[in-house]
Every structure is written in structure tokens, then in C-alpha cells.
Chain A
Amino acid sequence: NAGVTQTPKFRVLKTGQSMTLLCAQDMNHEYMYWYRQDPGMGLRLIHYSVGEGTTAKGEVPDGYNVSRLKKQNFLLGLESAAPSQTSVYFCASSLLGASYNEQFFGPGTRLTVL
């Protein structure tokens, strides 16, 4: 039981390049989330999903897109990376909504945009 895994662990992009971050969970959770964490700050929600085929915007969705084609996977895309997107990205999942359950986090992806 691997829990929540993220790929890749590190990535360096040039401004304008695109990339996709992959999150996978093997706990059969319905809800999945993407957060970013900047130095000295807490996590901010980018997008989330309440089930396969559904996505919704969080607090800071601009510049990102997501897809949940399979229940176990949640992809975060950057179409045209900007230096302001330099951050550590965390994926999380939960069985039910946050009103009921804790969230389980992946180890993070450190992204640098030059």
C-alpha cells in the first residue's frame, strides 16, 4: 500500500514550457486535491476533484489545469510555466470530503521555473 505518490520529485522548467504532474493513490479515495506551498506559508488549494471525471477550482487555480480520468489518478498541468509558479506542489486524497476525514498527502514535487 503505497498511499499517495507523486511524479516527478523535482523539475526545472524554463518560462513558457509546459509540464504535467502526476498524482496516484491506491486507497480508493473519492476526493483528490492539488496544493502549492510557498516559503513561510501554508498550503493553498489549486484544484480538487470529488470523483472520477469531476474537477473544481480552489483558491489559486489560474495558470493550472487538472484532469481526473481515472479514480486513482489526478493530473496537474502547467500549459505555460511562469516564475511565479516556482513552488512545492502537494497532492492529497481523502475518502470523503474534508468535513469528515483527514487528508493523506504525497511527498511533494519541487518545481523551479527559470
Chain B
Amino acid sequence: SQQGEEDPQALSIQEGENATMNCSYKTSINNLQWYRQNSGRGLVHLILIRSNEREKHSGRLRVTLDTSKKSSSLLITASRAADTASYFCATIISSGSARQLTFGSGTQLTVLP
């Protein structure tokens, strides 16, 4: 079974609106990362948040982490058509190999112009 699971599986919004995606995980983590994948392309790293951090910002991205609920959220503000992509959370589990990321199944975001 996968460590991280994104919710919702698919999200469709209008350009200019905010998009929120959630990630839940099962075991204690070292850090949590968010990646974006455009159709037919490789993954691109967006942001990394460590287990002792609660919130992090990068441009129009805001990530929160609640270790007590084992969940994270990715907020994209003022969305653009170019934000259309799949978004994945990935975790490093504390008890396992520090070299392995475990990915969720992703949220497909569609931003309508």
C-alpha cells in the first residue's frame, strides 16, 4: 500500500481561483515533498517541508504540514492554465531507508481558462 494518498483524485477550477490538494500518510516522516507532472513529462520538484516545520511558502505555493494528523496540504493561489498538471506528494519515512521517497497516486488539476 502507498504511504501517501492525495485527495481529491481530480480537481477542476477556473483560472484565478485557488486550488487546494491534500495528502495523508500513514507512518512518521522525515520530510514531505510535493512534485508536479505535466502530461507526458517527468516530475518537477515544487517544495520540501521538514517534519519540524508547519508551513512553507514558495511564490504562489503554500504548503502546510500537520504531523499530528499525518496530513499535508498544497495551496496554489491565483491559478493559471499553465498550472494544469498532476500533483504528487512524496514522503521519506523515518524508520526506513533515508534514500527512498514514496509517492502518492496524485491529484489531477485542471485549470480552465
B-binding residues in A (CB < 8 A): 4, 31, 35, 40-45, 48, 50, 56, 58-59, 90, 92, 97-99, 102-108
Contacts and interface: CB of A to CB of B under 8 A. Distances in A.
Contact of A97 (B42, B88, B99, B105): B99
Interface in B1-15: 2, 4
Contact of B30 (A35, A92, A99): A99
A105 B31 CA distance: 19
B99 A42 contact: no
A102 B45 contact: yes
B100 to A, nearest CB: 6
B41 A108 contact: yes
Contact of A98 (B88, B99, B106): B99
Interface in B67-89: 88
Given A41-B105, A102-B33, A107 B92 contact: no
18 contacts: A35-B103, A42-B88, A43-B88, A43-B103, A45-B101, A45-B102, A56-B97, A59-B100, A90-B42, A90-B43, A92-B43, A98-B100, A99-B92, A99-B98, A102-B45, A106-B42, A107-B42, A108-B42
A39 B67 CA distance: 29
B45 to A, nearest CB: 4
B98 to A, nearest CB: 4
Given A97-B99, A99-B92, A99-B98, A42 B44 contact: no
Chain B, interface residues (CB within 8 Å), range: 20 to 34
Given A42-B106, A45-B100, A45-B101, A99 B42 contact: no
Contact of A99 (B31, B40, B90, B103): B31
Nearest to A110: B40
Given A42-B103, A108-B40, 13 more contacts: A41-B105, A42-B2, A43-B88, A45-B101, A48-B99, A56-B97, A58-B100, A59-B100, A92-B43, A98-B101, A103-B43, A106-B42, A107-B42
For the complex of A and B, 4 pairs with smallest distance between CB atoms: A42-B103, A105-B42, A102-B45, A99-B98
